């Protein structure tokens, strides 16, 4: 069974940066589109960035130009570099395949943007 583990979250001031990491226990990266999702308190979980198995990317309008998704298929890793963070980016961030599969949800990593 594939297991996804997110890390790299934390508390950062507005305008700051973070890099999130997603580690997979199995070799799913080479055969699936992967994505970063986030869920803020009281809101639906949303997809913010997607990367295909050949490296094409797409972003939600709210993060376009600030976030960069990348993947390392050889090491079963995916990353999300987040720059110019805003308070509205505060959420728990998760990685999963696209479209998501319920069995793959991990615990997520908390990102808090606050002064």
pLDDT in tens, 63-78: 999 999 999 888 889 9
What confidence score (pLDDT) does residue 30 get? 66
What confidence score (pLDDT) does residue 25 get? 82
Asked if residue 68 lies in contact with residue 18, where contact means CB atoms within 8 angstroms, the answer is no
Strands 10-12 and 109-113: parallel
Q: Residue 91 phi/psi, 5° resolution?
A: 180, 170
What confidence score (pLDDT) does residue 29 get? 62
pLDDT in tens, 10-62: 999 999 999 999 998 876 766 789 999 999 999 999 999 999 988 999 999 99
What confidence score (pLDDT) does residue 74 get? 84
Q: Residue 10 phi/psi, 5° resolution?
A: 165, -170
How wide is the angle at C-alpha 5 spanned by C-alphas 4 and 8, nearest 5°? 140
């Amino acid at each position: 069974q594939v297991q996804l583990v997110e890390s790299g979250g934390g508390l950062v001031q507005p305008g700051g940066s973070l890099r999130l990491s997603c580690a997979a226990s199995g070799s799913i990266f080479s055969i699936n589109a992967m994505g970063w999702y986030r869920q803020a308190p009281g809101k639906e979980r949303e997809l913010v960035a997607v990367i295909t198995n050949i490296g094409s990317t797409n972003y939600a309008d709210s993060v376009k130009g600030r976030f960069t998704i990348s993947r390392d298929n050889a090491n079963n890793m995916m990353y999300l570099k987040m720059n110019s963070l805003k308070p509205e980016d505060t959420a728990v961030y998760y990685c999963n395949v696209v479209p998501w599969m319920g069995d793959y949800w991990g615990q997520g990593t908390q990102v808090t943007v606050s002064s």
